[in-house]
Amino acid sequence: MKFVLTITDGVQNKDLIFRVYESDIAQRWAQEISKNYPLDEIDRFQGWPGTGKDIFYYFEQLQSQIDIVNEYEKNTINCNISSNQDTLNYLHKFFEDLRGEIVEGTNFFNNSPAHVKDAINKFNILIHETEHLLRSSNTPTIVGTFKDRPRIKLLEEDFNFFTFKWKYGEVYINYCEVGKTLLDVFKDQDQYIGKENIRPQEYYSADFMIKFGIEMSEDFYKDRLKKFNKWYQDKKFNFKHLSLGMIPVAIIEKGEPYSGYKEIKSVCIK
């Protein structure tokens, strides 16, 4: 089974072809892709040269979303934007408090007009893209998401497949919760997030992320895991599942992306 991602520069299209893994979760993810949900985010090409998405771009975009929310209700988001992880952690706390859980939502979010809801959701995405730029500028990724796709509870055996030992051209199921994973809280040294907003992944959807950076070495992986385990023990957390990283579902077989392509045109399973 093949996962075909068609990317475009607005004039020319290019197919990237991936072999879907045989694991049960990979096959179930492919079934979701085959249902042809309409694409939502198509331009999340992070870390690619020539896209124009530098730190100043993200500052401008973040401020734009803040202005939309604050115009609706004055001083809702009160923070000066700067290029450090601590500020981004602080900004993300605003998102968590405004958005609430993905199903229920907060009164503020539920009662806001559509353009304010869109700004809140985009605010979150921009924070994560800015984080990626700051800490992984040499790790290009493509993220694809879909409108109106369901979120499905992971099976107990699916948790065995989580990894953060990234491989070049590997496709992963993207995080589809509102909150932050344990690994991200650890990497970001987030002092603002409340435990209620730390949410190891328990659901999957058709959404995906593809990493095109240098593969993580075994030594680096073991060192990070060791440091994470110490941090986790020190925090005295007790989550049922750690869900460290993401679940791999496919690997590239044909095609090389480059900076001229900036959007997803289509996806399919063959």
Strand ranges inside the chain, DSSP E: 2-8, 13-20, 44-46, 141-144, 152-153, 170-173, 203-204, 208-211, 248-254, 263-269
Which whole-number Å values give the CA distances from 151 to 51, 148, 171, 241, in the listed order? 31, 9, 18, 18
d(CA 152, CA 63): 34
Print pLDDT tens along the chain (270 aa): 999 999 998 899 999 999 999 999 999 999 999 999 999 999 888 877 767 788 888 889 999 999 999 999 999 998 878 767 888 888 888 888 889 887 788 999 999 999 999 999 999 889 888 887 877 656 789 999 999 999 999 999 999 999 999 999 999 999 998 888 999 999 888 888 888 889 999 999 999 999 998 899 999 999 999 999 999 999 999 999 999 999 999 999 998 877 688 899 999 999
d(CA 219, CA 14): 35
Model pLDDT, residue 87: 83
Residue 99 tokens read as 């958005």
